Structure 1
């Protein structure tokens, strides 16, 4: 049975189209069947001419369910676009970074040939990343329903007006404040918009939700990490007529008038990311953000087990009891304090 790999690229950049051309050629040479969307194949052929490699067209020759893996060539934005395509069909994504940070990507452009070899030999694992379910309510009516892999970000619509919001956790109000917005993120999104807004970095293995105010005008408006079973909500208050806008993963948006309510819960459908090497998340942080680690010594070398003997018992001597007031009489006026020296 043929193994098919869908190649998705950032079609607005010539570098991405060149990488897609190379990926298709290398996939075919490794015995895999490259698959492209019709529009992306047209963009590649417009730049470089007709491909010599046999290509199957998604939805014409093959369905998405028949694809083993999606190779995404681009930055995190391209991976988020690919996640929209594959989330409902349980196909993993493997990102090759062509952008700047590319935190969701697994490898770099220079490793493209090696990445294809790993795919061909099935030397990759798949991990599931939590997503969130996002609903918008106005006057008791649900007007919008979507999902996000990184975050649901509420922002002010007008530069000159702050938003007045109240936050809620598990159907209990927490605090209200004026701000530029509020980010509700997953652990995956903790290194994206939430991180830029001052939120904590959450390891992907940690199941949690993060709330991060943006430029809040309040004393108690700090980033919060809550249970993944919690229900988060942010309401746009009616104290002003300031308008907001909700963005999910920076790709889908809806306007928020005063009185609008945004609810966020954990989604039952995750996004699957393929990993070709088991790099600890801390090492990914160092590499992606170029963190300084000079001077690190690491764990001390262990020559063997150290056996600890019995713990010694230290005996303490009880202090002599202090004399009672009856045993010591105060000297009278004119008398010596020591009776033995009296004459």
Structure 2
């Protein structure tokens, strides 16, 4: 059983609508007005705030716009209005602050959102009446070392992948789990995902679906040269280290991406270290179990959902 923690009725809510979705702007307008009428403060990204009055977005005058890297410490709840990608982008800004995140799915699939497009008022009412709870979701701390020195750091909620760039050559990626050699992958790339991210790129690449609440990473090669190279599930606390070792001849390029939102160009010899992050994401989960969601969303038999 994953431990759940109650969320106190929020005094200040941040709304995070999908950037390019008119449906999300309409939902943000409705949510901001509903909260404002009940005395709850509303915060949005300053770029969203600047668009008020256009594209169906009409924010109350009391709505505050802030830069995403300067979110006030008194924000109690983040509400993501969009699909899974929107929820992931929202969570990147508040996870380290310990702010719970709840998603309202305005897209088609949506594994992560607790509420659907017709339940916007329901989630807001549940929030102010203290009926929301959060569960911890494992995040991944990422370090890139170049020539023995720390070059870059990031934290991922969903996944990290290493992939060839515009020149499609097989990469050679030496991979360790803890202190043990795992494999030298020859592949188009490699995905390392959290349980939350197991239903994303990992699933599309043939990796397993991993139940939430588990403390594991899944390592999945992208189009490996050998069919014997299969996805592997390992303890997140052991850590995964990947070194880009080749090809050493000819022209080749590669890059590293975290959650599809952060990207750097790699150099041969770069070492990428991934391990469990110190702070989890505080996510309001769907009321249905992950298995019921999978049954409904993917058409598996035995689902009790419509």
Counterpart CA distance in 2 for 1:88 and 1:223 is: 29
Deviations 1:70-99 (A, max 9, x none): 111011221122112112211111111112
SS in structure 1 at match of 2:53: helix
Deviation at 1:28, TM superposition (A): 2.5
Runs of 5+ unmatched residues, structure 1: 297-343
Alpha carbons 2:171, 2:246 under 8 Å: kept = no
SS in structure 2 at match of 1:26: helix
**Aligned counterpart, 1:214:** 222
Root mean square deviation of aligned Cα: 2.2
Question: Which structure would you say has the larger Rg?
Answer: 1
SS in structure 2 at match of 1:45: coil
Is residue 2:299 matched to residue 1:293?
no
Deviation at 1:164, TM superposition (A): 1.6
122-131 vs 29-38, greater mean Cα deviation: 29-38
Is residue 2:254 matched to residue 1:236?
no
Alpha carbons 2:177, 2:238 under 8 Å: kept = yes
Question: Which has a greater percent of strand?
Answer: 2
**Aligned counterpart, 2:46:** 38
Deviations 1:184-214 (A, max 9, x none): 1111111111111111111012211111111
Counterpart CA distance in 1 for 2:64 and 2:227 is: 58
**Aligned counterpart, 1:341:** none
- What pairs up with 1:174-193 in 2 under 5 angstroms? 174-193=182-201
Alpha carbons 1:64, 1:89 under 8 Å: kept = no
Counterpart CA distance in 2 for 1:177 and 1:129 is: 28
Counterpart CA distance in 1 for 2:158 and 2:225 is: 25
Relative to 1, partners in 2 of residues 1:108 and 1:50: Cα closer, same or farther, differing over 3 Å? Answer: closer
**Aligned counterpart, 2:12:** 4
**Residue number among 116, 119, 130 corresponding to 1:122 in the alignment:** 130
- Greater relative CO, 1 or 2 (CA 8 Å, sep 6+): 2
Is residue 2:258 matched to residue 1:227?
no
Runs of 5+ unmatched residues, structure 2: 1-8
Counterpart CA distance in 1 for 2:149 and 2:228 is: 31
**Residue number among 82, 103, 115 corresponding to 1:74 in the alignment:** 82
